C-alpha cells in the first residue's frame, strides 16, 4: 500500500452521485427508473447563455483568465448581488470559482485544522462535514429541526459556539430540507454573534432566488457588521440550470479582521485550478444580464411540482411531508413507516424503480427522512409517488 495522508480516509462523499450512477446503470439495463435523487434542474441552460459561450470561443477566448475571474464577470456578479440583496459589493471581493463546491473547500481549509471546531447544518449538504473532517477540525452539527420549519435556530446555533469555533456554516434556502430561515431568526443570530467576534461565517446562498409562497431569502450580506468575517457562496448551477458548466462565485472579505482572505483564496486558485475557463465566464455574464423569463418559467414548474410532491407524499399512509419553502427538495418524514431511511431508499430503487436519497446521507438528524428532488416532470413525480405508495403497501 502506498502511504497517502490519512485526511483522505476521513473524507466523505455525496451519495447523490452514487445513487445517480446506480440509477443510470439500472436504466441502461432496461429498467424504468424515475430519478428524484440528484439535485440538478432537469431544464437545459437557456439558449442565449449557450450562445454567449459559443461566441466567446469563436472570438478566441481560449486562454487563461485572471485567477480571480474576468473583471467583466466579477462586475456582473456585483450587479446581480445589488439586484438581489440591495448591497453593493466591490469586484475586488468577488471570486469566480469552478462551481459552488470550491468555495466550500476554500473556506473550510482556510479555517479547519486539528483543534479547531467548525459548525455546520445537520441535516445539511454532505460536503460540509466531509471537508471539515478532511482538515482534521472537529465537525459540530447544528441541528436543523422539522418542528422549527427546517430553519436553523439562532439560540441553538449560538449555544454550540466555543472558544475553539473558527467557522460557522449556514445554508438557507437549504438542501436537503427546502427550509428557509426567517429574517427575524437571522437577526437574532447576528446579534448573538457580536459576542463571538472571532468566528468567521460561510453563508451558502446558492438557492437564494429559489423560494415559494412569497417567502424571501435574507442574505447575510445585508448585515454590514458581519462583512469583514463573512464569506458568501453562490453560483450559476441551480438558478440558470448550469450544473455541468462548473461556474460559481463567492464574495470574500479583505478588510479589517478579514484582511488577506481574498488574497488567500486567489492563491489557492493559482495553485489548484488557475482559473475558470473563459467561455463559461462569458456565459455567466449572459446569464446575469440576459432575460430571466426562462428562470421564471423554471421556478413556476418547480412550484407546481413542489405542490404535487407534498400532496402526493402526504396522501401516503404513515408519511408526512412538510411544505418546503425553497430550493427544489422535499424532505418527507418516513419514521412511522417502520423502515429506516437508507434501506428504504435502496429498496425503492431496486424494487420500485424510484431513485431518492436516504436522510442519513445528510447527517445524523436525517434518520427518519428521505430527500426527494423534484427536478423531474410532473408525470414522473406522480409515477414515483404511486410506486412508493404501492411498495410501502406491499412491504409494511
Cell of 180: 428557509
In whole angstroms, give the CA distance from residue 261 to residue 268: 11
Query: Taking CB under 6 A as the rule, does residue 100 contact ligand PLP?
Result: yes
Residue 248 within binding range of ligand PLP, rule CB under 6 A: yes
Minimum CB distance to ligand PLP smaller for 105 or for 111: 105
Residue 49: C-alpha distances to residues 79, 279, 327 (Å): 17, 10, 22
Q: Does 374 bind ligand PLP (CB under 6 A)?
A: no
Instruction: Please state the closest distance from residue 148 (CB atom) to ligand PLP, in A.
Output: 18
Q: Is 153 helix (H, G, I), strand (E, B) or coil?
A: coil
Q: Give the separation between CA 118 and CA 363, rounded to whole angstroms.
A: 15
Cell (9 digits) for 265: 483564496
Grid cell 478566441 is found at: 60
Of 302, 326, 86, 95, nearest in space to 206 by CA? 326
Helices and strands in the chain: count of H runs, count of E runs: 13, 12
Near ligand PLP by CB under 6 A: residue from 19, 23, 39, 170: 39
Choose which of 36, 70, 206, 370 interacts with ligand PLP (CB under 6 A).
206
Q: Shortest gap between Cβ of 243 and ligand PLP (angstroms)?
A: 5
Is the CB of 248 or the CB of 360 nearer to ligand PLP?
Answer: 248
- The answer to whether 355 and 119 have CB atoms below 8 angstroms apart is no
> What is the smallest separation between the CB atom of 234 and ligand PLP, expressed in angstroms?
9
For residue 116, count CB atoms less than 10 angstroms from its CB and return exposed for 0-12, middle for 13-18, buried for 19 or more. Answer: middle
Residue 84: enclosing H or E segment and its boundaries? helix 71-85
Q: Of 70 and 232, which CB lies nearer to ligand PLP in the complex structure?
A: 232
One residue of 41, 179, 235, 353 binding ligand PLP per CB under 6 A:
235
C-alpha cell at 242: 448550469
Stretch that binds ligand PLP, among 61-69, 98-106, 285-293, 338-346 (CB under 6 A): 98-106
Mark 148-187 with x for binding to ligand PLP (rule: CB under 6 A) and - for no binding. Answer: -----------------------x---x------------
65 binds ligand PLP (CB under 6 A): no
Residue 115 Cβ vs ligand PLP, minimum distance, rounded to whole Å:
26
In terms of CB distance, is 100 or 290 closer to ligand PLP? 100
| Residues 6 or more apart in contact with residue 119 via CB below 8 angstroms | 140, 141, 142, 157, 160, 161, 165, 167, 168, 169
Q: Which residues of 26-38 are buried (b: 16+ CB within 10 A; e: fewer)?
A: beeeeeebbbbbb
Is 99 a binding residue for ligand PLP by CB under 6 A? The answer is yes
* Interface stretch with ligand PLP, choices 93-101, 286-294, 335-343, 375-383 (CB under 6 A): 93-101
Q: Does 135 bind ligand PLP (CB under 6 A)?
A: no
Is 45 a binding residue for ligand PLP by CB under 6 A? The answer is no
* Angle (nearest 5°) at CA 265 between 189 and 191: 10
Q: Which residues of 249-262 are buried (b: 16+ CB within 10 A; e: fewer)?
A: bbbbbbeeebeebb
Q: Which residue number, 328 or 391, has a Cβ lying nearer to ligand PLP? A: 328
**Residue 281 binds to ligand PLP (criterion: CB under 6 A):** no
CA 283 to chain centre: 21
Exactly one of 45, 237, 277, 376 binds ligand PLP (CB under 6 A); which one? 237
Of residues 325 and 339, the one with the C-beta less far from ligand PLP:
325
Least distance CB 99 / ligand PLP (angstroms) = 3
Query: Which residues are near ligand PLP by CB under 6 A?
Result: 39, 99-101, 125, 171, 175, 204, 206, 235, 237, 243, 248
Amino acid at each position: 500500500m502506498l502511504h497517502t495522508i490519512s485526511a483522505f480516509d476521513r473524507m466523505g462523499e455525496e451519495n447523490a452521485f452514487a445513487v445517480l450512477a446506480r440509477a443510470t446503470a439500472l436504466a441502461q439495463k432496461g429498467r424504468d427508473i424515475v430519478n428524484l435523487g440528484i439535485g440538478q434542474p432537469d431544464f437545459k441552460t437557456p439558449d442565449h447563455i449557450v450562445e454567449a459561450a459559443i461566441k466567446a470561443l469563436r472570438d478566441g477566448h481560449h486562454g487563461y483568465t485572471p485567477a480571480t475571474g474576468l473583471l467583466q464577470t466579477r462586475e456582473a456578479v456585483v450587479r446581480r448581488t445589488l439586484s438581489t440583496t440591495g448591497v453593493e459589493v466591490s469586484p475586488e471581493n468577488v471570486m469566480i470559482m469552478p462551481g459552488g463546491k470550491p468555495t466550500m473547500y476554500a473556506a473550510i481549509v482556510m479555517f479547519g485544522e486539528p483543534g479547531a471546531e467548525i459548525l455546520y447544518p445537520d441535516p445539511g449538504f454532505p460536503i460540509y462535514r466531509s471537508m471539515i473532517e478532511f482538515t482534521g477540525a472537529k465537525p459540530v452539527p447544528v441541528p436543523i429541526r422539522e418542528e422549527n420549519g427546517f430553519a436553523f435556530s439562532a439560540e441553538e446555533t449560538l449555544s454550540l459556539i466555543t472558544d475553539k469555533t473558527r467557522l460557522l456554516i449556514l445554508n438557507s434556502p437549504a438542501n436537503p430540507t427546502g427550509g428557509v430561515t426567517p429574517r427575524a431568526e437571522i437577526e437574532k443570530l447576528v446579534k448573538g454573534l457580536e459576542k463571538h467576534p472571532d468566528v468567521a461565517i460561510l453563508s451558502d446562498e446558492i438557492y437564494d432566488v429559489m423560494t415559494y409562497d412569497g417567502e424571501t431569502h435574507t442574505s447575510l450580506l445585508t448585515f454590514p457588521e458581519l462583512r469583514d468575517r463573512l464569506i458568501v457562496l453562490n453560483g450559476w448551477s441551480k438558478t440558470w440550470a448550469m450544473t455541468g458548466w462548473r461556474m460559481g462565485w463567492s464574495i470574500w472579505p479583505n478588510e479589517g479582521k478579514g484582511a488577506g482572505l481574498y488574497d488567500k483564496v486567489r492563491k489557492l486558485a493559482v495553485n489548484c485550478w488557475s482559473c475558470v475557463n473563459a467561455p463559461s465566464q462569458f456565459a455567466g455574464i449572459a446569464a446575469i444580464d440576459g432575460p430571466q423569463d426562462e428562470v421564471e418559467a423554471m421556478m413556476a414548474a418547480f412550484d407546481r411540482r413542489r405542490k404535487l410532491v407534498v400532496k402526493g407524499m402526504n396522501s401516503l399512509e404513515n408519511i408526512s411531508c412538510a411544505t418546503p419553502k425553497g430550493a427544489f427538495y422535499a424532505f418527507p418524514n418516513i419514521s412511522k413507516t417502520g423502515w429506516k431511511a437508507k434501506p428504504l431508499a435502496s429498496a425503492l430503487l431496486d424494487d420500485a424503480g424510484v431513485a431518492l436519497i436516504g436522510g442519513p446521507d445528510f447527517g445524523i438528524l436525517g434518520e427518519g427522512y428521505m430527500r426527494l428532488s423534484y427536478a423531474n416532470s410532473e408525470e414522473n413525480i406522480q409515477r414515483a409517488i404511486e410506486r412508493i405508495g404501492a411498495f410501502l403497501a406491499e412491504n409494511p
